[in-house]
Amino acid sequence: MSLRKKMNKIKNTEQTQNEPRNRHGTWLSFRVKRGISFLRLLRLCFAMTFLCSPVFSKDNSGLPAEYILSFYPDARTSALAGAVVSQGGSVSSIYYNPAGLASNFYNELSFFYTPLFYGTKYTYIGYAYPIGSKETVAGSIGFLSTSDIEKTNSIGETLYDFSSQESVFNLAYSAQIGDTTDGGINIKFLSQSIDDYSAHAASCDLGLFSNKDDTKYGAVVKNIIPMKIGEDKLPLSLRLGLTQRIYDKLFLSGDVAFEDMLKKTVHKWFLGSEYNYKIYFLRAGLNYKEITCGVGVTEEKFSIDYAVSFHTLDITHRFSVALRFGVEPTEAEKHAIKILEENKLKVEEEEKRIAQKKSELEKDIAVFNIEKEKIEKLMTSDAKLKNEWKKIKQEKEQIIYELENVRKKQQLSQMLLKAREHFDKKEYVASSDIVNRILKDDPRNKDALELLRKITDATTTTAAQEKYVKALELYEQGKYTDAIFKADEALKIEPEYQNAQILIKKSKAQNYISQKRYQDAKYELVEAIKISPDDVELLELLKRIQTTLDVMGEQ
């Protein structure tokens, strides 16, 4: 029997025109002015509309208003049966664990759509924007809508059709808070509209995400701020997750949820698995109420995912698309970032060790001063005491010298870290100035000498390239003699620069052609082709000169 027929069979009690609106009971029950009681009608409507949602189960469903926040944000999450608290790196993390957003390198736009029962459909759109290394902001909005619901009077006559819509808007921020740990916060705004009734609420979630080699951990506390929508309150809940690499590209995930923790704790479980072959993904999942599976295709700039859910009521199909913009750091850049972070950790550890050593030396100095006072009181003309005083004085000077060396090493370590940061940003002049100051104080500093060598290599190559580019512009303008001089300047900087060598020979050949010295031009081109045998321009120019020589009868 269709929803329309079931709803037409509900008997409603007709109210008078002046009866005031009544919103007691559950937040879904209300009386419409000049209308009828819709308590039973709405309960039946929403029960049938949301039975197919991920919150429905026979034994532990029914927490207040939880269905608004329980739909999956994409087909991948659905295919894994919701076992994704310990997953990260995509815009959908905003929905189930905001801490997972920090590992996202791309600007990402995601769209998810799933048709449910009786004209009900769910749509989700999300966008993530990295604002720094391991730091991301994101926003999303989800809509659950049902249309063409008949409103009837007590005798079953149709008055008009109305619709209902629930929406949730999320705004999240995530950043790295430890060596392998990210944290995140999500602020969410909920609203519901049924006919002429509406309600609104807001709350927030806090999450943690950790990635250690082949194991990932996740935890999220939802509805930290008490949230009331209509007559219902959304309960405080905790969800924990674990993802483990089992074999090569096979991963298993598991979540456990503790809902309504301040009253009657409800436990729910979620299991999922994912296998990756090149750009293709195969997924399957199982939770307390449904079996799921799905497939996906993930390229650098987009993802397409499909999932199917085998529920006790029906089978539902879900589709999502994600588009990624921007440039992901190369492996070399990721490695450089990792090295920089490791260097910072080493410097911090060294600073702690130096601070500890400094504290110990300061204690020694304090003890020394106490002993000094004692000795000064006991000092006499005795030669032995004078020698002892001299020895103590030397020890004091040695301690002061060591303390100064510790301070100097700490200062040089900080300067070296700053020089490396400038080098990574390709600010070679600033980096070189700092390195030279380090070497002035410590000429044998190996790290500073190595960094200076890298700066020299980088600046030399860049200078030679700039000279070559200028020479190439002169050649294209027909200023061949000027091009020869400019390319020669590049060779003085980098003698083995082949492009500059070829450009000099091409420029000489062009000068000889203008002077009709074709044999000399041919010689220069042959020498250039020896350097670059596959250069099409050289071969074409040589062919033209040879044709000219043949016409002139020369070899």
Categorize the per-residue pLDDT at 39 as very low, low, confident or very high, splitting at 50, 70 and 90.
very low
Q: What's the confidence (pLDDT) of residue 38?
A: 37
> Domain coordinates of the chain in residue numbers?
39-324, 333-444, 461-552
Start-to-end Cα distance in the chain: 97
Residue 305 exposure: Cα atoms within 13 Å on the Cβ side: 32
pLDDT of residue 440 exceeding 80: no
Q: What's the confidence (pLDDT) of residue 327?
A: 62
Q: Which residues, 6+ apart, have CB-to-CB distance to 339 below 8 Å?
A: none
Least confident of 32-46, 418-432, 496-510: 32-46
Mean pLDDT of 411-426: 85
pLDDT of residue 128 exceeding 80: yes
pLDDT of residue 196 exceeding 80: no
Q: Return the CATH superfamily for domain 39-324.
A: Outer membrane protein transport protein (OMPP1/FadL/TodX) (2.40.160.60)
Q: What's the confidence (pLDDT) of residue 323?
A: 92
pLDDT of residue 17 exceeding 60: no
Cα separation, 338 vs 180, in Å, equals 11
Report the 10 Å Cβ neighbour count for 179: 10
Q: What's the confidence (pLDDT) of residue 217?
A: 94
pLDDT, tens digit, 9 for 90 and up, residues 239-291: 999 999 988 889 999 999 998 887 788 889 999 999 999 899 999 999 988 89
Q: What's the confidence (pLDDT) of residue 272?
A: 96
Q: Percent of the chain beyond pLDDT 90?
A: 28
pLDDT of residue 228 exceeding 90: no
237 burial type by CB count under 10 A (0-12 exposed, 13-18 middle, 19+ buried): buried
Write out the two tokens for 46: 């929403």
pLDDT of residue 78 exceeding 80: yes
Write out the two tokens for 296: 């996906």
Categorize the per-residue pLDDT at 35 as very low, low, confident or very high, splitting at 50, 70 and 90.
very low
Q: What's the confidence (pLDDT) of residue 300?
A: 82
Q: What does CATH list as the number for 461-552?
A: 1.25.40.10
Write out the two tokens for 358: 């400094």
Q: What's the confidence (pLDDT) of residue 445?
A: 83
Write out the two tokens for 441: 């104080």
The overall average pLDDT reported for the chain is 79
pLDDT, tens digit, 9 for 90 and up, residues 292-320: 999 999 988 899 999 999 877 778 889 99
Q: What's the confidence (pLDDT) of residue 280?
A: 95
272 burial type by CB count under 10 A (0-12 exposed, 13-18 middle, 19+ buried): buried
279 burial type by CB count under 10 A (0-12 exposed, 13-18 middle, 19+ buried): exposed
pLDDT, tens digit, 9 for 90 and up, residues 159-174: 777 777 888 999 999 9
Mean pLDDT of 337-357: 81
Residue 101: DSSP 8-state: G
Q: What's the confidence (pLDDT) of residue 329?
A: 61
Q: What's the confidence (pLDDT) of residue 105?
A: 77
Q: Report whether 332 contacts 130 (CB < 8 A).
A: no
Cα separation, 193 vs 324, in Å, equals 33
In 3D space, the residue among 422, 418, 416 whose CA is nearest the CA of residue 441 turns out to be 416
Q: What's the confidence (pLDDT) of residue 4?
A: 37
pLDDT of residue 60 exceeding 90: no
pLDDT of residue 455 exceeding 90: no
